[in-house]
Amino acid sequence: MNKSYDQDSGPHGFEAPAPQYQTATMQGGLCRNLVRYKNRVTGGRGWGRFLWQGTILTLLSPMPTVVFSVLRGRVYRAVLGAVGPGCLIEQDVRLLVPRRIFVGRRVMVGEGCFLDANTPRGRIELQDDVWLSRGCIIVAGEAEVVIGPASYIGHRCLMYGHAGIRVGRDALLANDVQLICGNHTFTRRDIPIRAQPPEGRPIVIEDDVWLGASAIVLGGVTVGHGSVVGAGSVVTHSLPPYSIARGVPAQVVGVRGEEPHPQVPPSEGES
């Protein structure tokens, strides 16, 4: 059976999505969507800014070799909020609202990363000596995502920072770690979940924390200084400093420095 949308309702009699979700739809026609796209990728600047940053990013982004990785670190100063000396930016890095992205000194941004400040009020900051491995995704929304000095972010990590994320100094995030501030409300049954207002709480990863591969940290959590979280764990509550935690949901199973522990605390079911 065919279904169609109009301005007032969706399929099955649902109301149209609430205004805060209109950016996730293609309603309104081609001209309106082009303007929305321009605002989305520039943070609301004019067409001149859109064409200027688009030209620079489009020409340089796909170029391979270390020469262009160095060159991008220099030329991107024209479109980013700041880029410090000694940076390497590999090919096919995607940047949205780049004037709200700030990169410190000697930062490595790996191939295929996606950095999205998302709004004129969002902000992404990679501080000195950060290593952002290939395929990472960082989205800021209305808040800040700050990664502290000398932190290592493994391949394909996701930071969904609509309520704010702060990662401290010397943090170690293994591959496929997810930090997710946002959540969907779903109390009403008369409209789709995606049309109901989101909620979010900030995440803090303190200094010298190690998050194992595929660990997930949810909104409202602080992972205390020096803690270790096992691979595949889901952290739903804050952890005190020097905790060793694992499981779904993560539970503290030890304290660093008090007695011998395995180098990598395995998650339940690991061999």
CATH assignment of the domain containing 203:
2.160.10.10
Would 18 be classed as within a structural domain?
A: no
Would 247 be classed as within a structural domain?
A: yes
Which pLDDT does position 182 carry in this prediction? 87
Helix or strand or coil: residue 103? strand
Q: What is the DSSP letter of 238?
A: -
**Mean pLDDT for back-to-back runs of 10 residues, the chain (271 residues):** 42 47 62 80 80 84 86 91 94 93 96 93 96 97 95 97 96 98 88 86 98 97 98 97 97 87 51 38
Which pLDDT does position 261 carry in this prediction? 55
The percentage of the chain sitting over the pLDDT mark of 70, rounded to a whole number, equals: 85
- Note whether 245 and 259 are within 8 A (CB): no
**Which strand (E) or helix (H) includes residue 64?**
none
Would 126 be classed as within a structural domain?
A: yes
Count of structural domains, the chain:
1
Boundaries of domain holding 190: 23-255
Would 266 be classed as within a structural domain?
A: no
Which pLDDT does position 11 carry in this prediction? 47
Which pLDDT does position 88 carry in this prediction? 94
Which pLDDT does position 147 carry in this prediction? 98
Which pLDDT does position 31 carry in this prediction? 81
Residue in this structure with the two tokens 């943070």, named with its chain if needed: 43
Which pLDDT does position 42 carry in this prediction? 81
Would 268 be classed as within a structural domain?
A: no
Would 11 be classed as within a structural domain?
A: no
Which pLDDT does position 184 carry in this prediction? 86
Would 93 be classed as within a structural domain?
A: yes
Which pLDDT does position 6 carry in this prediction? 41
Would 13 be classed as within a structural domain?
A: no
Indicate the angle between helix axes 47-60 and 65-75, nearest 10 degrees: 160
